[in-house]
Amino acid sequence: MLKLLQTKIKSLKTSLAKKVLDEKIGKSNKTLTMAAIKSVLFLRTDGKIGDTVVSSFLYREIKRKYPNVKIIVLCGKSNKEILKHNKNVDELYEVGSCLFNDISVLKKLRKQNISLAVDFFPFNPRFSRLLMLRIVSPDFLIGFNKTSYQTYDLSVNEDFFRVHITETYKYILNLLKIDNPNLKYEIPFTSKEENIALDLINNHKHKHKIVINPFSASKHRRLSIKKLKELIDLIENSFDCRVFILCQEKNKGKVISLENDRTVIASFGAILESAALIKYADIVITPDTSIVHIAAAFDKKTIALYRDYSNSYEKTDTIWGPNNPNAVQLSVDTKDGALANDVENISNVDIFKALQKIL
C-alpha cells in the first residue's frame, strides 16, 4: 500500500513539473546544424562511474572531428574523478543532490551560451531536472524518449534496451555526423595515482596478480565473506598468485580477516588508484559493472558476474556487458527456480573453471 502511494505521489510530481516547466527553451522549430555548434554539454549528473567510463570515447571522437568545439560535462562528485584528467573535456562542472545548492553552478553554465546539450536521463524528468535545463538554457537540447516534452528539441526514441550501451553513444555521434567512431574507453590518470598502485603490486613477486572486487551498490550483486574466502582458497591452492581484494576504505573492515601472506586488501580512497591497480593486474573478478568497464578500458582478462535477465525485456546484462574480448561473463542459473537471482549463487566452481581457461 505504501509503495503504491509513493508511486502515485511520484507520478503526480512529475506531471506537475511538466505542466509548470515544460516549455520550449528559446526559439521553436530549431534544427541541429553542426556548423552552428560551438560547445556541447553532456549531462552526467547521475554520478555513475561505469557509465562515465563507457561514454569516455564520446569526447575523444567529437574532438577528433571538431577540435574547436568546446566539450563541457556536468557531473557528480564520484564520476568527476574519472574525467578530471581527460584532455578531451574542456570544462567540468560538479553538482550535488540538491538543486537549489547548485543554482550558482547552473548559472555559470548558462553564461557559456551552450550550443548543444545532451541529456541521457531516460525517464520522465522531475521538477529539478526541468528547472536545471531551463536555467542552463542550451540552444539545442537532445533527450531520450522525450517526445511528449516541449523542452527537448530532439527526442531519440530508439529501443536501446536490448543492445550494449555503446550503441546509444554511437547513435549520438552519428547525429553529429561522426561515422565509424572508435569505441575504445579511456581512463587517464597521473603518475601519482599510478605509483600508489605500483607500490602495492610490485612488492609481490608471484606469477599472477588477481584482483577480486566482491562489493557492489546492489545487495544482489555482492559476494559474501564466506563465498569470497572459499574462492580465494580455491585460487591460492591452484596457482602461483597474489590476490588483491579491491574495496573502498569503508569496506576494509569487512574483509580484513582474509588478509594473509598471499592475499592483500587493496583499499583505495580514489577510483583512479583502483583503476591503476586494475591496469597492472592479470585477472579481474567482479560483480560490479563499474569495475567491469574499468577492466575493459585496459583490455584486462575479466570474469564478470551478472544476475539472470533472461526473462526481462530490458537486458541489463547485455546493456552493461563487458564489451571486452578478454572477458568471460557468468550469470546466475535460475532456470529451475531453485536459486535466488543473486550473484552469490554463481558457483565458485564455475568461477574457478573460467579462471583456469583464461589465466
What does each C-alpha distance from 186 to 53, 85, 173, 269 come to in angstroms? 7, 10, 17, 20
State the residue range of the domain holding 90.
17-175
Per-residue model confidence (pLDDT) at position 358: 94
| 134/217 same-domain check | no
For residue 186, what are the contacts with CB-CB under 8 A and spacing of at least 6? Answer: 56, 57, 60, 86, 297
The grid cell for 105 is 553552478
What contacts 159, CB < 8 A, 6 or more positions away? none
Amino acid sitting at position 259: E
DSSP element (H, E) containing 117: strand 116-119
| Domain end (from 175, 200, 226) | 175
* Separation of alpha carbons 123 and 170, rounded Å: 20
Model pLDDT, residue 82: 96
Q: Which of 175, 205, 239 is a domain's end point?
A: 175
Reported in sequence order, the residue ranges of 249-344 that DSSP labels E, i.e. its strands, are: 263-268, 283-286, 301-306, 327-331
Residues 57 and 184 sit within 8 Å (Cβ to Cβ):
yes
What is the CA angle 273-275-281, rounded to 5? 105
Same domain, 113 and 220: no
State the pLDDT at residue 5. Answer: 59
Instruction: Please name the amino acid found at residue 325.
Output: P
In contact, 263 and 232? CB cutoff 8 Å: yes
> Would strands 70-75 and 91-94 be described as parallel, antiparallel, or unpaired?
parallel
The total number of structural domains in the chain stands at: 2
Is 352 a domain residue? yes
**Same domain (yes/no): 232, 336:** yes
Same-domain status, 158 and 23 = yes
Same domain, 200 and 286: yes
Query: Contact 257/263 with Cβ under 8 angstroms?
Result: no
Q: Which three cell numbers stand for residue 59?
A: 569526447
Answer yes or no: do 21 and 165 share one domain: yes
Q: What is the CATH number of the domain that holds 289?
A: 3.40.50.2000
Q: d(Cα 346, Cα 46) in Å, to the nearest integer?
A: 29
164 with 327: CB under 8 angstroms? Answer: no
The answer to whether residue 43 sits within a structural domain is yes
Does 181 map to a domain?
no
Domain membership flag for residue 247: yes
Do 245 and 125 share a domain, yes or no?
no
Q: Identify whether residues 115 and 230 lie together within a single domain.
A: no
> Based on the domain organization, do 293 and 333 belong to the same domain?
yes
Q: Is residue 40 assigned to a domain?
A: yes
Per-residue pLDDT of the chain (359 residues; tens, 9 = 90+): 656 656 665 667 677 777 778 887 765 557 888 999 999 999 999 999 999 999 999 999 999 999 999 999 999 999 999 999 999 999 999 999 888 889 999 999 999 999 999 999 988 898 899 999 999 999 999 999 999 999 999 999 999 999 999 999 999 999 999 999 999 999 999 999 999 999 999 888 899 999 999 999 999 999 999 999 999 999 999 999 999 999 999 999 999 999 999 999 999 989 999 999 999 999 999 999 999 999 999 999 999 999 999 989 999 999 999 999 999 999 998 887 778 999 999 999 999 999 999 98
Asked whether residue 271 is domain-assigned, the answer is yes
What pLDDT was estimated at residue 204?
82
| Neighbouring C-beta atoms of residue 19, cutoff 10 Å | 8
C-alpha cell at 139: 540552444
Report whether 322 contacts 249 (CB < 8 A).
no
Q: What is the pTM of this model?
A: 0.93
Helix (DSSP H) and strand (DSSP E) numbers for the chain: 14, 12
Q: Based on the domain organization, do 198 and 259 belong to the same domain?
A: yes
Does residue 136 share a domain with residue 207?
Answer: no
Greatest C-alpha distance within the chain: 68
Co-location of 60 and 198 in the same domain: no
Please identify, among 175, 199, 224, the residue that sits at the C-terminal boundary of a domain. 175
Asked whether residue 2 is assigned to any structural domain, the reply reads no
Cell triple for residue 192? 601519482
Residue 77 within a domain: yes
DSSP per residue over 37-55, as a string? --EEEEEETT--HHHHHHT
For 252, residues 6+ apart whose C-beta sits below 8 A from its C-beta are: 265, 267
Which pLDDT score is estimated for 4?
Answer: 65
